[in-house]
Structure 1
């Protein structure tokens, strides 16, 4: 039998193609499985919020504080603007978001269910993403009723919609960053109060960075200003969506989630 190098080359290429398709199929199956796992955890966590008093307390407290300041601004100061609301909500976030996230991993660590989760056929990233999106959805649910304030302002006078849309986008992204940081804090301890304190300290420091620039060396000002979350939020509320600000929010969010995954992985060691 004569050796045919052309046929052999075709066979090699065919085998490589099959192996490539097999690897792609495995990757897609893993991706679908991870997505399904994260979605299951998301639904479980979101349901747990609304099956307890947590979601309702958070929503009532959040809307009561924001609504009071907004009503005072509109009806007492006669200022038809959402500017004050966009200044108040980031400060309210400092307390509300760590309260939402403090139990996400610390409670399961204390009860021992976190060990059950990480030993199941679940990736650490599935657990983190499912819990993250559930808490972020609750923050988004808290923001939704404030659209009523937007409607009242639009009725009372002319509205520049750009800064308002930018403001809501900034609030949603800021909420996501704080949730990711709070989730990381929750992964560090089994005590919910300690998780709240750690989360509060982290987000407070991030929020205050651009407030202390006056006391910093000149060479450090630019760095701290860029790291400060309020600096990027202020940029977005001007109504100009700069990709650098979006990249900042997504980068801090992604880094916090990565650190949370690493924190969970260390429990297996």
Structure 2
């Protein structure tokens, strides 16, 4: 009989996973890579073309996050499968949904911590000149939704295999498809632009990053997050 969902149990898993992630050298390596790549891109654009806004930075953020998040999430469930510890967890009074929510939130929180130092970019621009704060605020709000959606994809990829490399490849493929491939298709085939934009994560993120909070964009990211968490739950239920 399925347990009634309890956030307290998810919170226990969340604390355990956060401790594991924050002590993981791999997580710090990839978060450092994220900050290095995003910082180099931002400051190179600023000093080369003297662009006093963050439009270019936010336009490339979906691609950077699509490359960084898969290594962070690849072992959240697959490592439990390969070590046999998942069987121990699943025999306790913890539902699959509680496990998924706890691990999902741990990945989201860690990525938000990794994103936090980038606030120095708009602060730098404020000191050096005038800055339109609307798109900046929109960009960071959009980043929260984007990170949530991408982490849910990472959780799903980790839920379907005990091999972390396969989980990495699957998550990377889905994220690149949503944030890069669909954008290329719309550029190559203009007649398909409306369809590609409708299902493209990059399009919806950049729409929010312009400073306009459209309910359709928010619903898109919430839908992606919900669908992949649901699929993850199905994958774990099938393991029982």
Per the normalisation by structure 1, the TM-score is: 0.84
Matched, 1:54 2:29: no
How far apart in 1 are the matches of 2:210 and 2:79? 40
Paired residue secondary structure (2:75): coil
Q: 1:74 to 1:256 in 2, by over 3 A?
A: same
How far apart in 2 are the matches of 1:118 and 1:216? 47
Contact 1:73 1:80 survives alignment (8 Å): no
Residue of structure 2 in register with 1:63 after alignment: 35
Residue of structure 2 in register with 1:183 after alignment: 155
Residue of structure 2 in register with 1:224 after alignment: 196
Cα shift readout 1:135-174 (whole Å, capped 9, x = no counterpart): 0111101110000111001111111111111111111211
Contact 2:160 2:235 survives alignment (8 Å): yes
Matches within 5 A, 1:103-142: 103-142=75-114
Larger Rg: 1
Residue of structure 2 in register with 1:38 after alignment: 10
Question: Which residue among 48, 52, 55 is the counterpart of 1:83?
Answer: 55
Cα shift readout 1:196-253 (whole Å, capped 9, x = no counterpart): 00000011111121320255594x5433321111111121111110111101100110
Contact 1:41 1:130 survives alignment (8 Å): yes
Paired residue secondary structure (1:253): helix
Contact 1:206 1:228 survives alignment (8 Å): yes
How far apart in 2 are the matches of 1:179 and 1:148? 24
Matches within 5 A, 1:148-167: 148-167=120-139
Residue of structure 1 in register with 2:212 after alignment: 240
Point out where structure 2 has 5 or more consecutive residues left out of the alignment.
Answer: none
> Which structure has the higher relative contact order (CA within 8 Å, separation 6+)?
2
How far apart in 1 are the matches of 2:230 and 2:151? 13
Q: CA deviation at 1:88?
A: 2.5
How far apart in 1 are the matches of 2:220 and 2:195? 13
Contact 2:77 2:162 survives alignment (8 Å): yes
Contact 2:108 2:148 survives alignment (8 Å): yes
How far apart in 2 are the matches of 1:222 and 1:51? 44
Paired residue secondary structure (1:189): coil
Contact 1:136 1:179 survives alignment (8 Å): yes
How far apart in 1 are the matches of 2:145 and 2:45? 25
Residue of structure 2 in register with 1:211 after alignment: 184
Q: How many residues align?
A: 237
Q: Superposition RMSD on alpha carbons, in Å?
A: 1.6
Q: CA deviation at 1:102?
A: 0.3
Paired residue secondary structure (1:169): helix
